[in-house]
Amino acid sequence: MLIDEYVKLVIKTSKERKKEKMAVNYKINCNGEGYAYPHYWEYCVGSCHAATVLREDVREHIRKAHRDCGFTHLRFHGLFDDDMSVVFSPMMGMGEPIISFYNIDSIFDFLLETGMKPFVELGFMPTPLASGTQTCMHYKGNVTPPADYGKWNAFIRKFAEHLIERYGSEEVESWPFEVWNEPNLNFFFDGTQEDYFTLYENTARALKAVDEKIKVGGPATSVNAWIPEFIGYCKRNEAPLDFITTHHYPSDDPLSTMGMNGPGKKGGAMISPEMLQKIQNIAPEERQKLLEQFMNRENNNPRDILAQMTKKAKEEAGDYPLYYTEWNGSKEYDTCYQAAFAVQTLAYNHGLVEGYSFWTVSDIFEEMGMKPGPFKNEFGIQTNHGIAKPVYRLFQALHEAGDIRLQAEGSHERAEVLVLKKDREIMVFAYNHDLDRRNVQKEEMEITLEGSVKTIKKAVIDEEHCNPLKAWKEMGSPEYLKREHLEVLEKASELVYEEVILQDTGNQTICFTAEPESVTIFKVVMDD
């Protein structure tokens, strides 16, 4: 189906507009000055765990996302995991552990060659340095504190010294260093809040002992947890702290109604300890089913939940820069829902964070093992074959847009617009979104562009357009793809712009249908 057939976009005269009243109306002064709108979502993107970045297919996905979507940093778990061979015992366990930064160098070299930088997540614990045996995920990252802080601190100092020797102090000082991942979830950290604070303080002091200008932060928590307690601890103990990091998803429980997020407690408000224990003790295929049940449960959070959480975290962070080193939707990662969710989130959270890091860049994602099939409802913006999902195309379009935001006169509960300007080009992102698709319905929209318009192009992200998942289902949902399949899916993923024929000069009014969880993008070029 052609976009023209589906959207039925028309340019109407003022007389015609008086005869009809559209359900949703917006007016945009295209000559307005607007205000600064930096692309904070391009600061970083996630990539599962470190060992996957040694793979060439993952590297190609990263290169592509950097080129098309503008992501400047890469963050991943497991930099010190056993599968990275950073700290390992010699054969037969005879002698002191061997330290090797070879694989880390390979990853960091690649990022710098690509034009990116690492957002360095320090974890998990190498087995020879660990105090216990608890692990997480398919790749078995050790989540216990160090057995000996003297040895851990010496290791961190050696790591920092190596980085400066290899890359130079000026380069390393430009990288953010984050201590651990989601220590408020006992799935990721086998310790209390105080245990994490001790780990953070030791790690931060070890880094600063090598170079005072290295930037280090935390607490890297799920659901915005521990920020006031963490800052308080650092101030009382004069522990180094340069920035705050945390994570959020719209499925989170920000009010901690499950009673799990208090000081000194293990676990977090996202998944109960009972569920975590159950997840750890079952077969991988059953584990996946259980996680899907959790992710697909009814969501009672308000539509702007991530903005509410961010505002609270910003207040708690005070003068410290705030980074969300993980964010994503709650489900439907392969569909147009993700694109609508993403643009709505970015429209709402402007001015609250220094940087965002979308989780993740690729479906080559081994937290629960590498499942077959190109569409597995994983977190990535690309499939395991590098096919762009709808949210990838959304980020690509946003990257092309300007960094000046224009106000749009009008409002609606779900159908809204984000307007970005660069010189004489204006991009309008019209989205129709609500969490869990609740209450969202087809809307007729009318956008009036005030000013002398030269050209308009349009593209649509919805169930019928920019939807490789639909194309895959139509070819019979093959589990393993052939070359001819990839060609079809790549074409189906494209964001296709079509020119709109203007019928008069001066102000233009665009009328179109916004389907549920869709994004309609207009590229508008103004006359000089």
What pLDDT digit, counting tens, does each position of 12-45 carry?
444 444 445 457 999 999 999 999 999 999 999 9
**Pick from 394, 361, 335: which is nearest to 60 by CA?**
361
| Measured distance between the N- and C-terminal CA atoms of the chain, rounded to whole angstroms | 35
Provide the pLDDT for residue 217. 98
How is the chain split into domains, by residue range?
Answer: 3-37+403-526, 40-257+305-400
Q: Are 481 and 385 in contact (CB under 8 A)?
A: yes
The widest CA-to-CA distance across the chain, in whole angstroms, is 88
Provide the pLDDT for residue 445. 96
List own/partner pairs for 161-164 with CB under 8 A and 24 or more apart. Answer: 161/210, 162/101, 163/108, 164/210, 164/211
Q: Specify the pairing of strand 87-88 against strand 404-406.
A: unpaired
**Pick from 444, 422, 413, 458: which is nearest to 515 by CA?**
444
Cα 49 to Cα 190: distance, rounded to the nearest angstrom: 19
Phi, psi angle pair for 55, to nearest 5°: -80, 140
Distance of CA 188 to the CA centre of its chain: 19
Phi, psi angle pair for 110, to nearest 5°: -60, -45
Cα 407 to Cα 27: distance, rounded to the nearest angstrom: 9
Provide the pLDDT for residue 7. 39
Provide the pLDDT for residue 284. 63
178 catalytic residue (yes or no): no
Cα 472 to Cα 486: distance, rounded to the nearest angstrom: 9
CATH architecture, range 40-257+305-400:
Alpha-Beta Barrel (3.20)
Active-site entry in 178, 326, 446, 515:
326
Phi, psi angle pair for 62, to nearest 5°: -70, -45
**Pick from 56, 138, 97, 63: which is nearest to 365 by CA?**
138
Enumerate residue ranges in the chain where pLDDT < 50: 1-19, 21, 255-273
CATH architecture, range 3-37+403-526:
Sandwich (2.60)
Provide the pLDDT for residue 298. 52
Residue 279 in tokens: 């997840």
Residues for the chain: how many in total?
Answer: 528
Provide the pLDDT for residue 438. 84
Provide the pLDDT for residue 274. 55
Provide the pLDDT for residue 175. 98
The predicted model scores a pTM of: 0.89
Provide the pLDDT for residue 326. 97
Q: Where are the beta strands (DSSP E) in 119-214?
A: 120-122, 135-136, 141-142, 176-179
> What string of H, E and C letters represents the secondary structure of 236-249?
HHCCCCCEEEEEEC
Active-site entry in 182, 201, 443, 515:
182
Q: Are 519 and 340 in contact (CB under 8 A)?
A: yes
- Tally the C-alpha atoms within 13 A of residue 442's C-alpha that lie toward its C-beta: 7
Q: Are 355 and 40 in contact (CB under 8 A)?
A: yes
Provide the pLDDT for residue 162. 98
Task: Assess whether the region 3-37+403-526 and the region 40-257+305-400 belong to the same CATH fold.
Answer: no
Provide the pLDDT for residue 269. 39
463 catalytic residue (yes or no): no
Provide the pLDDT for residue 370. 83
Provide the pLDDT for residue 373. 86
